[in-house]
Amino acid sequence: METTQPTASKTNIWMIISIVLAVALIGALATKLPQTDNNGDQMTVLSTEQAGQELLSFLNEIYGPQLGTITLQSITEKNGLYEATIGLTDPQQGQAVSEVAFITKDGQLFIPQVINIQEGLNQFRSVQQQNLQTAPPGPVETSN
């Protein structure tokens, strides 16, 4: 009785094909999964153009009467938010200025100003150092 044994090459080919398909499936699922916020709720991510339009609609409705028409000069992704450069007219000087504002990727939160932690610490430490250098000496004793 003669038995045939499967060749190693047939087994290896199917194993390689299975691994490749599994990796492709995992990759496809990972890119299609919805993004979630910290609470586990599904978050709709807007494109930069959509987020920019949401921001402009909000700003022009709320601030438009005081500032005139606000325009979107640019919008990019930065640190998990959209950073928008907007053009408006300074109400005190009457000149056109550019300002930077942020909007969340779902278009729900407008952040008019952010503080860079490292820059804030550097400024604070610089002021502290200047205050130490210009501080008057301790109390002066006078004799009666």
Domain 48-118: give its CATH architecture.
Roll (3.10)
Ranges of residues in the chain with a pLDDT under 70 are 1-11, 25, 28-41, 135-144
pLDDT of residue 130: 87
Instruction: Compute the mean pLDDT over every residue in the chain, rounded to the nearest whole number.
Output: 81
pLDDT of residue 55: 93
pTM for the structure as a whole: 0.58
The burial class, CB within 10 Å (0-12 / 13-18 / 19+), for 58 is middle
Please write the tens of the pLDDT for every residue from 77-116.
Answer: 998 999 999 998 887 888 888 999 999 999 999 999 888 8
Domain ranges within the chain, ordered by starting residue: 48-118
